[in-house]
Chain A
Amino acid sequence: MTPRTLQDWIDLLLDASRTQWLLRAGTVLAPIVSVLAAAAASPGWWPPGTALVAVLAIAAALRPDTHFALSVAIVCAWHWAAIDADVASGWLPLAAVALLVFHATVALAASLPSGTAVPNELVMRWAARTGVAAGITVGVWLAVALLDRRELPGNGLLTGLALAVIGITALAVRARSLRALDPGETVIRR
């Protein structure tokens, strides 16, 4: 790290508003909550993993516009899969929602300069959205837990149908994300 980079980081921390500090604190705490939920759902916990997640989460909080956040989410999901916990455990939706909160806080932090105070109106808007997504997540978890308890055999047709739906959705998302401007839309270049 060059001295100039260090100075940039110091300036970043000093310029951050109080609401930005809270936002970034949420960015660090949310994935740690996810890892601790996994620890609660399993016999033992994973200190090196928790430390790794914490370090990556701090990096994501400092540089929200990078892909540190992606690595945090991957580590957390992999950790849960590795501990082989019961899918019906109530800790699972908590861990998933914690990752959702992490994603939302990082995305919001990335869209604002560090010195900008986050207005309450914006926080409420994002909280409402996150609440809707969290509700859907809990609903999916309830369905998964219910089906898991019934121990249904695998169904190739249903799996194929599900994959087809996922594929179509992926194509639609890709098309919407990368689409060119409509003919009536203009870009101002003066």
Chain B
Amino acid sequence: MSLTTTMRWRAGPAHLRAVLLGLVGVSVAVLFRIPELLVFATPFAVVAVWSAATRPGMEPQGTGRLAPSDVREGQATTWSMALTHLDRVDHAIALLPQRQWLELVPRTGTVLTVVDGPEARLAMPIRPIRWGRHRSGPANVVAVSSWGAFRWMALDTDRPVTALPLPPVFDAAQSPHRGNGLIGVNRSTRLGDGQDFAAIRPFQPGDRLRRINWRRTQRDGELRVTATHADEDIHVELVVDATADYGHSDGIDGAASSLDASVRAAGAIAEHFLVRGDRVSLRVIGGRPVTLRPGAGSRHLRRLLEVLAAIDRDSLTRRTNTLTAGGLPHGSLVMLFSPFVAPAAVQQALTLAGQGLDVAVIDTLPEDVHLEEDRATSLAWRIRLLERHGELRAVQRAGVPVVRWRGAGSLDPFLRALARRRGVPRVVRS
């Protein structure tokens, strides 16, 4: 049973009206011999007696659930309540409170069922339209007896619904970059045992016989082997800047704020790499700092999306921890998602790049952010945007690619640039 508070069956104003008009009216009509009043009072007396005779004798019991409790934003889940012990109940109603990022069907948040037996079920689809953890309840459940005379009320447990960010489809055509391992699905810079063709070269001692290219050997008259690139996995560190949220959010179907873009982009990239078999870790800076250790596979993707969904939009703070390369293997790919309005984020990117990591800066500031509170604020914002432009140019000059997130294919130029830089010596500041 999931009902937190219940009120016993109680008579409502309708029953009081029927009793007063019916029984008092009939009494007065008989005492004072007013036949018209008897006719007027009769229907109310009938209703009063009928209502009392069919008063429910048991307290209903209810079991509520929200299934599934985790959905992608924009997908629907269903709140339901199974009511039992419904004795002479006419109808039952549930009322869910209106929440900012939850769409209820129907829009009024009420659902009614006509009771025709000892059991009934109330169900209402709920559609979260923005990522995050949302409160769906508590739902008010009301059962009504015949003639609306008696009511029973209960409050269901509040059931949170987690809306995982729905990443836009992201697909990088470019092979990511150099990694360290010799397993995985990505093409290594080194030659080795893999799938991708590299070259045909003369046979050397140690080459496997199955690598011999017999057709070319027959033509050249000496043993030739097919060389391939080694397969490898990579480690991608996603850093989401949750120090502030700029722009307006209309949920999954409308405009996206900077934090929306950051979270959805991080989710998309994580899904892309994890599906390929790579390792992905996550750090959230600002608000409540969260670090998710590297992992791979669909379960890790689920965990990562849950961490992203747990970012509390209402408690964003500018307090940030300085990022370091500590714990990250050499050659890791770091992707920093930020609107880069605060200079600290730019500095973080430069620091990481200076520590020898491949860093990509994904700019998630919406293009239509306008602060028009007053002239001075608007002017200050424009000045800040100009400064920000200069800071991002400086980041690019330092060799860190800056990519504006535009969904699918946004990162291909960056991945190509990284691939070109493979093997080029770089200065690493210790």
Query: Contact check: which of A115, A144, A163, A166 meets B110 at CB < 8 Å?
Result: A115
Whether B14 pairs with A77 at a CB distance below 8 angstroms is: no
Docked pose: A169 CA to B40 CA in angstroms: 18
Docked pose: A188 CA to B84 CA in angstroms: 13
List CB contacts (< 8 Å) of B2-45 with chain A. Answer: 2-6, 8, 11-21, 23, 25-27, 30-31, 33-45
Docked pose: A132 CA to B95 CA in angstroms: 32
Check if A8 is an interface residue, CB within 8 A of chain B.
no
Whether B35 pairs with A137 at a CB distance below 8 angstroms is: no
Whether A111 pairs with B11 at a CB distance below 8 angstroms is: no
Whether A110 pairs with B37 at a CB distance below 8 angstroms is: no
Whether B36 pairs with A185 at a CB distance below 8 angstroms is: no
Given A80-B36, A170-B23, A188-B6 contact (CB < 8 Å): yes
User: What residues of A have a CB within 8 angstroms of the CB of B33 in the complex?
Assistant: 154
Docked pose: A111 CA to B151 CA in angstroms: 8
Q: Is the interface of A mostly helix, strand, loop or mixed?
A: helix
Query: Contact check: which of A15, A96, A133, A170 meets B47 at CB < 8 Å?
Result: A133
Whether A112 pairs with B112 at a CB distance below 8 angstroms is: yes
Docked pose: A170 CA to B52 CA in angstroms: 10
* Count of residues in A whose CB is under 8 Å from the partner chain: 72
Whether B40 pairs with A77 at a CB distance below 8 angstroms is: yes
User: What residues of A have a CB within 8 angstroms of the CB of B35 in the complex?
Assistant: 87, 144, 147-148
Check if B245 is an interface residue, CB within 8 A of chain A.
no
Whether A186 pairs with B59 at a CB distance below 8 angstroms is: yes
Check if B394 is an interface residue, CB within 8 A of chain A.
no
User: What residues of A have a CB within 8 angstroms of the CB of B23 in the complex?
Assistant: 166, 169-170, 173
User: What residues of B have a CB within 8 angstroms of the CB of A122 in the complex?
Assistant: 90-91, 112, 114
Whether B59 pairs with A181 at a CB distance below 8 angstroms is: yes
Query: Contact check: which of A65, A77, A121, A162 meets B30 at CB < 8 Å?
Result: A162
Distance from B247 Cβ to chain A, minimum over Cβ atoms (Å): 29
List CB contacts (< 8 Å) of B70-121 with chain A. Answer: 90-91, 93, 95, 106-112, 114
Query: Contact check: which of A119, A121, A133, A159 meets B50 at CB < 8 Å?
Result: A133
Given A69-B13, A137-B42, A125-B90 contact (CB < 8 Å): yes
Distance from B299 Cβ to chain A, minimum over Cβ atoms (Å): 33
Number of A-B contacts (CB under 8 A): 193
Whether B90 pairs with A103 at a CB distance below 8 angstroms is: no
Given A85-B36, A87-B35, A166-B26, A133-B108 contact (CB < 8 Å): no
How does the 8 Å CB contact mask read for A157-190 relative to B, with 1 for contact and 0 for none? 0010011001001101110111101100111111
Check if B125 is an interface residue, CB within 8 A of chain A.
no
Whether A178 pairs with B57 at a CB distance below 8 angstroms is: no
Docked pose: A97 CA to B144 CA in angstroms: 23
Given A144-B35, A163-B27, A173-B19, A107-B14 contact (CB < 8 Å): yes
Docked pose: A74 CA to B22 CA in angstroms: 11
Whether A77 pairs with B18 at a CB distance below 8 angstroms is: no
Check if B214 is an interface residue, CB within 8 A of chain A.
no
Check if B200 is an interface residue, CB within 8 A of chain A.
no
Query: Contact check: which of B11, B21, B27, B30 meets A74 at CB < 8 Å?
Result: B21
Of chain B, the residue at the smallest CB distance from A179 is B55
Query: Contact check: which of B18, B21, B90, B112 meets A116 at CB < 8 Å?
Result: B112
Check if B53 is an interface residue, CB within 8 A of chain A.
yes
Of chain A, the residue at the smallest CB distance from B14 is A107
Distance from A68 Cβ to chain B, minimum over Cβ atoms (Å): 9
User: What residues of B have a CB within 8 angstroms of the CB of A176 in the complex?
Assistant: 52-53, 55
Docked pose: A77 CA to B17 CA in angstroms: 13
Query: Contact check: which of A17, A129, A186 meets B146 at CB < 8 Å?
Result: A129
User: What residues of B have a CB within 8 angstroms of the CB of A189 in the complex?
Assistant: 5-6
Check if A59 is an interface residue, CB within 8 A of chain B.
no
Of chain B, the residue at the smallest CB distance from A142 is B39
Whether A188 pairs with B59 at a CB distance below 8 angstroms is: yes
Check if B61 is an interface residue, CB within 8 A of chain A.
yes
Query: Contact check: which of B17, B49, B93, B114 meets A169 at CB < 8 Å?
Result: B49
Check if B380 is an interface residue, CB within 8 A of chain A.
no
Whether A188 pairs with B1 at a CB distance below 8 angstroms is: yes
Given A70-B21, A100-B43, A186-B59, A177-B30 contact (CB < 8 Å): no
Q: Tell which of A77, A119, A174 has the most Cβ of chain B within 10 Å.
A: A77
Docked pose: A116 CA to B90 CA in angstroms: 16
Check if B138 is an interface residue, CB within 8 A of chain A.
no
Contacts A110-B12, A125-B90, A137-B42 known; list 17 others, CB within 8 Å: A65-B12, A65-B13, A70-B16, A70-B20, A77-B21, A87-B39, A92-B36, A103-B21, A111-B93, A115-B107, A129-B50, A137-B39, A177-B19, A178-B11, A185-B59, A187-B6, A190-B2
Which 8 A/B pairs are nearest by Cβ-Cβ distance? A115-B108, A107-B148, A107-B14, A100-B43, A176-B52, A111-B148, A173-B52, A111-B144
Name 25 A/B residue pairs within 8 A (Cβ), A-sorted.
A87-B35, A87-B39, A95-B40, A97-B43, A99-B44, A110-B12, A110-B14, A111-B93, A111-B151, A113-B110, A116-B110, A118-B112, A122-B114, A129-B147, A137-B43, A163-B27, A163-B30, A169-B49, A172-B52, A176-B52, A176-B55, A185-B58, A187-B8, A189-B5, A190-B1
Q: Which residues of B contact A (CB under 8 A)?
A: 1-6, 8, 11-21, 23, 25-27, 30-31, 33-53, 55, 57-59, 61, 90-91, 93, 95, 106-112, 114, 142, 144, 146-151, 154
